[in-house]
Amino acid sequence: MGPIFPEANFNLVLALIIGFIFGVLLEQAGFSSNKKLVGIFYGYDFTVWRVFFTAAITAMVGVLTLSHFNLLDISLIYISPMYLWSVVAGGIIMGFGFILGGYCPGTSLCAAAIGKLDAMVFILGVALGVFVFIVGYPMFEGIYLGSFMGAPQIFDLLNISMGLFTFIIVIFAFLSYWGVGILERKINNGESYELTSKSGFFKIFALATVVAFVALFMSPYKQTLLADFNSADFGKDANINLISSDDIAVRLLKNDNSLQFIDLRLPNEFAKLALPYALNATPEEFFLPRVSDFINQKQKITVIYGGDEKLAKKVAVLAVKIGFNPNKILVLKGGFNEFMKDIINFEMPKEQPNSSILKTTYLFRHEYNGRIKEILENSKPKQIVLPKSKRALGGCG
């Protein structure tokens, strides 16, 4: 599942190839000419609008599709952080730079590559600008790091689904193409840079509408699964293997290392007492490397437990749906509450047990509950290990 190289300065040859394609596309679009680029601002050439918007919606549909089919984990990709006033100021400054300079940094490289001397001067300017920012950084730091709002995504801000947002923007894009074509003709006395024939355009528009409707019904796999997970019936009929408190107690006494534990309770409950070396995690974290690395380590079998067994059972089903091996996942029968009641706080019942097995069990519990409690106490984590995020680094600032 992507991203494949989240942490890496990944393969630099690949970077070169991707850059090469990027350069060819920009140049073929005509972005090696400043007249073509600023055309958008004076209305005589909307090529920038067409290319930029089409690239954006294609990429959005692509990202949505990949995450729908669980090929891309959108919680791991780089989402540009939102420093409100820094973004606003940066955008305005760049707007001025665009009108004055006639290029943006990417396109200036293409233009310089085909021999545009003014683009070479522009490139020098960009480097100088970055230098000015670096030298003046103490002055800019306040606004640069101020008004931080996390890394919000637009569909959350608008409180609609990712699919609905994609639907709206794809339709909007194509209506705008129609609009800018009219504008272009008006400003150029009948001439337009619309290179698609009228019938061709309607064909693309029809296709885009279909794509938009498909997008409307897609949502990231993780989100779909979590929505299912939160429904009452989730995992009701699934067959999950249980392990009893006594079984675990025996293994603890024998120093059996084949089991490892995931504790779903709240952190404060977990801190009080938990099974040895358990990982305290939320169901959502089963999508993250923190939990997946834990489950996948070595040959261990993972026992999932919560206060009772209900949540743990659902989480076990979720884990299997995410793709963990069902044979390596167990759920603690009755949850940690029952473990406390039956083992740690065990009290010999007054009436005689009616079977010899039960009698042995009671004797075992009575004999060893102090020792088990000791094992649990001694294995408490010395310090809380913070989850290590593998979200892609980077950005372009």
Partner 1 sequence: MEEKTKYSNPYLIGFLLGLLIVLTIYLNGNGVGASGAFKNVVVGTLNEIAPETSSQLQYIKEFNASHTESPWKGWLVFQVIGVVIGGFVSGLVSNRLKFKFEKGKNVKSKIRLITALIGGMLFGIGSQFGRGCTSGAGLDGMAVFSVAGFLVTMMIFGTGFAIAPLFKKLWL
- Binding to partner 1 in span 163-182, by CB under 8 A: 165, 177
Is the CB of residue 243 less than 8 Å from the CB of residue 330? yes
For partner 1, the closer of residues 75 and 361 by Cβ is 75
- Residue 268 in tokens: 């404060």
Q: Cβ neighbours of residue 94 under 8 Å, at least 6 residues apart?
A: 104
- Residue 83 in tokens: 């420093």
For partner 1, the closer of residues 106 and 326 by Cβ is 106
Q: What is the distance between the alpha carbons of residues 267 and 248, in angstroms, rounded to a whole number?
A: 22
Residue 71, amino acid? L
Q: Which of the ranges 55-63, 267-275, 290-298, 315-323 carries the binding residues for partner 1, by CB under 8 A?
A: 55-63
For partner 1, the closer of residues 293 and 347 by Cβ is 293
- Binders of partner 1 among residues 89 to 118 (CB under 8 A) are 89-118
- Binders of partner 1 among residues 272 to 301 (CB under 8 A) are none
Q: Which of the ranges 15-23, 223-231, 305-313, 324-332 carries the binding residues for partner 1, by CB under 8 A?
A: 15-23
Q: Which of the ranges 145-153, 252-260, 294-302, 307-315 carries the binding residues for partner 1, by CB under 8 A?
A: 145-153
Q: What is the distance between the alpha carbons of residues 234 and 265, in angstroms, rounded to a whole number?
A: 19
**Is 357 an interacting residue with respect to partner 1 (CB under 8 A)?**
no
Closest distance to partner 1 from the beta carbon of 387 (Å):
17
For partner 1, the closer of residues 155 and 368 by Cβ is 155
**Which H helix or E strand runs over 280?**
strand 279-280
Closest distance to partner 1 from the beta carbon of 111 (Å):
7
**Is 316 an interacting residue with respect to partner 1 (CB under 8 A)?**
no
**Is 142 an interacting residue with respect to partner 1 (CB under 8 A)?**
no
- Residue 162 in tokens: 């990712």
How many residues bind partner 1, per CB under 8 A? 139
Closest distance to partner 1 from the beta carbon of 373 (Å):
45
For partner 1, the closer of residues 144 and 229 by Cβ is 144
Write the DSSP string, 228-273.
HHHSTTTTSS----EE-HHHHHHHHHTT--SEEEEE-S-HHHHHH-
Closest distance to partner 1 from the beta carbon of 296 (Å):
21
**Is 206 an interacting residue with respect to partner 1 (CB under 8 A)?**
no
Q: What is the distance between the alpha carbons of residues 83 and 294, in angstroms, rounded to a whole number?
A: 34
**Binder of partner 1 out of 68, 70, 74, 252 (CB under 8 A):** 74
- Binders of partner 1 among residues 24 to 43 (CB under 8 A) are 24-30, 32-36, 38, 40-42
Structure-token match 């509408």, residue found:
209
Q: Which of the ranges 124-132, 245-253, 307-315, 354-362 carries the binding residues for partner 1, by CB under 8 A?
A: 124-132
For partner 1, the closer of residues 118 and 246 by Cβ is 118
Q: What is the distance between the alpha carbons of residues 315 and 235, in angstroms, rounded to a whole number?
A: 9
Residue 364, amino acid? F
Return left, alpha or beta for 17; rule: phi > 0 is left, psi -120 to 50 is alpha, else beta: alpha
Alpha helix segments (H runs only) across 303-355: 310-322, 335-339
